[in-house]
Amino acid sequence: MPARQLRWLLIGNSRWHWALEGAEGLGGERPPYFLHLPPPMAAEEPPVAWAAVGPVPPQAALPAETRLALEDVPLADAPPWLGIDRALAGWWAARLTASPVLVADAGTVLSLTRVDGCGRFAGGRLVAGAALQLGAMASGTQDLPALEGGLASAASGELWPRDTAAAMTQGVVEGLAAAVLEAGRQVRSVEASCRIVLTGGDGPALLPLLRRSPQLGEDVLLHRPDLCLEALMALRPCPPPVGAAQASPRSSRI
């Protein structure tokens, strides 16, 4: 009988993010692969561990005992209102870099989360993400179009597009990149060793714009597309023992 494939789940605001154990490699490793799917999707097998910042549909039937709550993430000084995705990303980025970090999670919301050199939550900022900005422009004006595909739907690569849809996407992505760059400049003026860790679904669109800055070389800017899932796997690397109890989950938000 084949062994069960291990999986981990983070329920976001607009996607379900899965980490699945991969095929065994030459050295015996089983590297994970990642899937980002629209909700709702019932889990065929219960995940090793899961967390949620978005709505959890009842039909998902996810076990409460394997849900991670904010208090399960060892991020010092995390306030009780902090979203578990921000806590996971900040804690794991600081562990990966062994330095102060500014995590830029470019998802439904662009969250900027700062962790100091002692591994303590040090504040952050929230900015409407690309899809929210594009949707607001379409719904709040008479003539601007609704772009179903988000940033990818009208990307042209031009700095100054003539087409309306491309102008919308270029304006949004430039604005988000500028927000990350300015936040990074401010943090690094206080903590020069601070690394910037980029993650989230719109990270690939922001990455080339951030790379234009001479201050953000490979030693400063790190791209980890699946940072939160990596953190989830690091905290719960294997299934809990049968009958093991965990703290009751509590809700969290971005």
**pLDDT tens figures, 109-158:** 999 999 999 999 999 999 999 999 999 999 999 989 998 766 766 566 78
pLDDT band, very low/low/confident/very high, at 15 (cuts 50, 70, 90): confident
Contact 233, 19 (CB under 8 A): yes
In a domain, 48, yes or no: no
pTM of the entire structure? 0.86
> Does residue 14 lie within any of the structural domains?
no
Give the residues across from 199 on adjacent strands: 105
- Residue 144 placed within a domain: yes
Residue 182 lies in a domain: yes
| Position 63 in a domain | no
Q: Is 85 a catalytic residue?
A: yes
Report residue 75: phi and psi, to 5°: -100, 115
The pLDDT-based confidence of 34 (bands split at 50, 70, 90) is: confident
How many domains does the chain divide into? 1
- Structural domain including 125 reads 74-227
Catalytic residue among 72, 85, 202, 219: 85
Using CA atoms, how far apart are residues 172 and 152, in angstroms rounded to an integer? 12
pLDDT tens readout for residues 208-228: 999 998 888 888 999 999 999
Residue 8, in any domain of the structure: no
250 vs 21, residue with greater confidence: 21
CATH for 192: 3.30.420.40
**Long-range pairs for 180-189: beta carbons < 8 A, 24 or more residues apart:** 180/104, 180/110, 180/112, 180/206, 180/210, 181/210, 181/213, 181/216, 183/102, 183/104, 183/112, 183/125, 184/102, 184/215, 184/216, 184/220, 185/215, 187/100, 187/102, 187/114, 188/215, 188/220
